[in-house]
Amino acid sequence: MSEIIPEGSSAVTIVLDVPDWPRHHPGQHVDVRLTAEDGYQAQRSYSIASAPEDPRLELTVERLEDGEVSPYLAGELRAGDELELRGPVGGHFTWETTDGGPLLLVAGGSGLVPLMAMLRHRAAQASAVDARLLVSARTWDDVLYRAELGGLADVRVHVTLTRAQPPDWGGSARRVDADMLRELGPPAEQAPRVFVCGPTAFVERAADLLVELGHAPSAIRAERFGPTGA
């Protein structure tokens, strides 16, 4: 572990130097295993935030107050510490520039992490694939990679803040709905590749709305996260 970058008040990006890391696909994750001194082991899956072109591996971890692993990763871990990783894993929720577009990414909270890997990959490849991103978060402080999102010149980004908004807020201030998705586009007729990632309830809602808007269920790939011991 070489560096920790705070992301708002409740998440951190962990930067790792992994010897012999095989190139990952944007959207994949790794399983992180922690072993306590008494031998007790806990394992969690974390999405990879960095592009495959990035020589270092980045994971962004949201601190769950009652979590078993995330408080350690987001609070106790120090540069130089070692982590046990398995991965990269996953082949269903992935996108490469060669897969083409258009691309519609819908993120709830820290569900932005694997989608950011896709956008970073797109930027690294100087891809002109039409890409749109919808980010839903409770407050501005909960929006990951804020500065970087602002710099995504050729990606249409829309942010909605569901709980509190800063003064002069120019984005939306409600839960994701059909109007928001329709306005962001691209329309279903363009058959975008859709990736939705977030907490279970968020993903359910967003996926239902997308189907109502005419997107083929098979074009919508979802990644829900929740409490998991797997």
Partner 1 sequence: MADAARWLDGNAVAGVLAEAFGEEMTAVERACDGCGAERPLGAYRAYLGAGVVLRCPACGATGLRIVALEDRISLSWSGGRAP
> Which residue type is seen at 70?
S
Which of residues 34 and 184 has its CB atom nearest to partner 1 in the complex?
Answer: 34
222 binds partner 1 (CB under 8 A): yes
Q: Nearer Cβ to partner 1, position 154 or 212?
A: 212
Q: What are phi and psi of 210, to 5 degrees?
A: -65, -40
Instruction: Pick one of 24, 29, 122, 132: the residue that binds partner 1 (CB under 8 A).
Output: 29
Q: Verify binding: residue 23, partner 1, rule CB under 8 A.
A: no
Q: Alpha-carbon distance 197 to 222, whole Å? A: 6
Report the SS3 class of residue 100: coil
In DSSP terms, 137 is beta-bridged to 161
Dihedrals φ, ψ of 116, to 5°? -65, -35
225 binding partner 1? (CB under 8 A): yes
| Site residues (CB under 8 A) for partner 1, limited to 189-208 | 200-201, 204
The C-alpha atoms of residue 202 and residue 108 are separated, in whole angstroms, by 6
From residue 128 to residue 167, the character string flagging contacts with partner 1 as x (rule: CB under 8 A) and all else as - is ----------------------------------------
Q: x/- binding map, residues 38-57, to partner 1, per CB under 8 A? A: -------x------------
- Return d(Cα 193, Cα 186) in angstroms, integer: 10
Token digits for 39?
């031998």
d(CA 59, CA 147): 17
Using the rule CB under 8 A, is 215 a contact of partner 1? no
Q: Is 101 in the site for partner 1 (CB under 8 A)?
A: no
- By three-state DSSP, how is residue 222 classified? strand
Among 26, 52, 90, 192, binds partner 1 (CB under 8 A): 90
Residue numbers of the site for partner 1 (CB under 8 A)?
Answer: 28-31, 45, 86-87, 89-93, 200-201, 204, 221-226, 228-230
